[in-house]
Each structure stands twice: as C-alpha cells, then as structure tokens.
Chains A and B, each alone.
Chain A
Amino acid sequence: AAGVIQSPRHLIKEKRETATLKCYPIPRHDTVYWYQQGPGQDPQFLISFYEKMQSDKGSIPDRFSAQQFSDYHSELNMSSLELGDSALYFCASSLDQGGKTQYFGPGTRLLVL
C-alpha cells in the first residue's frame, strides 16, 4: 500500500539558511499534519491542514510556515534556521480529520550546523 512520502530524507543547512520540507500524503487523504521530534524526545505537533485550510496549530515557531496545495501535498518552510531546529520532522496524513488514524511518513532529518 502507498505510504506517506517525505522529501528530502536528510538535509544539512547552515545557521540562518532556509529549508523546505515536502510531504506527499497517502492517495485520497485530505488532511496533513507536521510534527517535530528532537533527539531523544517525543514528537511535538506543529501544524495541520484539512482540505488546504489550516485546521490546528501547535508549537510552530513564527520562522516556520506551511501550506497545503491543491493536490494535497504540503510544504513546511523554515527560515532563519537555528541550531535548535535540528530534529526529525514527520509528516502524517489521514482521510478526513476528527480522530481519524494518522499515518506517518519516514521523516526528514534536518541538521543545522
């Protein structure tokens, strides 16, 4: 079965640079979620989109922005990167929101030097 696709899988950036992470949900899934998992930590919710509209917002820094496009893929844009942004970024998708099971992608590992 098709899974959530994330690209790139690994990314190395310098401080103050920008990064764009992409997420392609499972076909027919209309809801996308972004999570950040720091080293040895649990995943923290950043933001979610349902039918291309922001549906919920968590602890996402103002330096980050995200959107969902007409084909339901989503991009997380990160600017003025800081060392503390180094983490594993997960995207998940679900068919509709409302407690539907979230299926996670393999993650993008971001290292900020």
Chain B
Amino acid sequence: AQSVAQPEDQVNVAEGNPLTVKCTYSVSGNPYLFWYVQYPNRGLQFLLKYITGDNLVKGSYGFEAEFNKSQTSFHLKKPSALVSDSALYFCAVSPFSGGYNKLIFGAGTRLAVHP
C-alpha cells in the first residue's frame, strides 16, 4: 500500500536554531514530493516540491527539503527557526497512476518554535 510516514507528532525547537521535520514514503515508481503547512483554521499552503533534478529543493519562507532516493525520504529543513513557523506541517506524495493526480498525505507534524 502507498503511504507517507511522518514519525514525529511534534517537533520542538528554540527560535534561531535549525529545524528538521522528517518524512519517509512508501510509493512505487518515481512519485512527486511536496510539503504543505497548515495554520489554525486555514487551508494548506504550499511550501515546496520535488519532481526531478537537484536533491536539495528550496521553497517559501526559507524552507528547504532534501530528497534521498535510497532512503525514500524527503525531510523538511530550515537553518534558523522563527516563532511564526509554528504550525502543522504535512508531507505529501503524488504517485504515478495514469498521471500524477492525487496527493497522499502523511499524518502531519506539529512544529512548535519557542522564543
């Protein structure tokens, strides 16, 4: 079965410190990979995606993600966390099924950045 795993329910980090939110996936073929962020009572906001090319992808708000094919991982990173980064982060994959259509989401990781 196709799945996305975010092993940490919550990540706590001090403001100014680097952060990592982990994501691994179990999908056949070469899926497209995405990160979205959700603030309370808001929709999902796109951060970044990986389709092909460089393994390090840069996205919005200073976030980046590293694709590792051998480990089937796509971890989200930021060099210096801000309190305003506190939100719910979802990793998602788009498997090829007659085209890349639906997104399969992980369970989400709540990021808490403390002053």
Contact = CB atoms under 8 A, between A and B. Distances in A.
A99 B43 CA distance: 20
Contacts of B101: 33, 48, 50, 55-56, 97
Contacts of B100: 97-99
Contacts of B45: 104
Q: Quick one: which of B44, B51, B108 has the most chain A CB within 10 A?
A: B44
Interface of B: 32, 34, 36, 42-46, 49, 51, 90, 94, 97-108
Contacts of B43: 4, 90, 104-107
B90 A58 contact: no
Contacts of A102: 34, 46, 103
B36 A45 contact: no
Contacts of A97: 99-101
Contacts of B98: 56
Contact of B102 (A42, A58, A101, A107): A58
Contacts of B34: 101-102
Given A56-B101, A99-B100, A101-B46, A42 B108 contact: yes
Contacts of B90: 42-43
B102 A98 contact: no
A41 B104 CA distance: 12
A64 interface: no
Contact of B44 (A41, A50, A56, A104): A104
B102 A48 contact: yes
A45 B103 contact: yes
A106 B104 CA distance: 19
Given A42-B90, A97-B100, A103-B46, 5 more contacts: A42-B107, A45-B104, A56-B102, A99-B51, A101-B46
A42 B105 contact: yes
A60 to B, nearest CB: 11
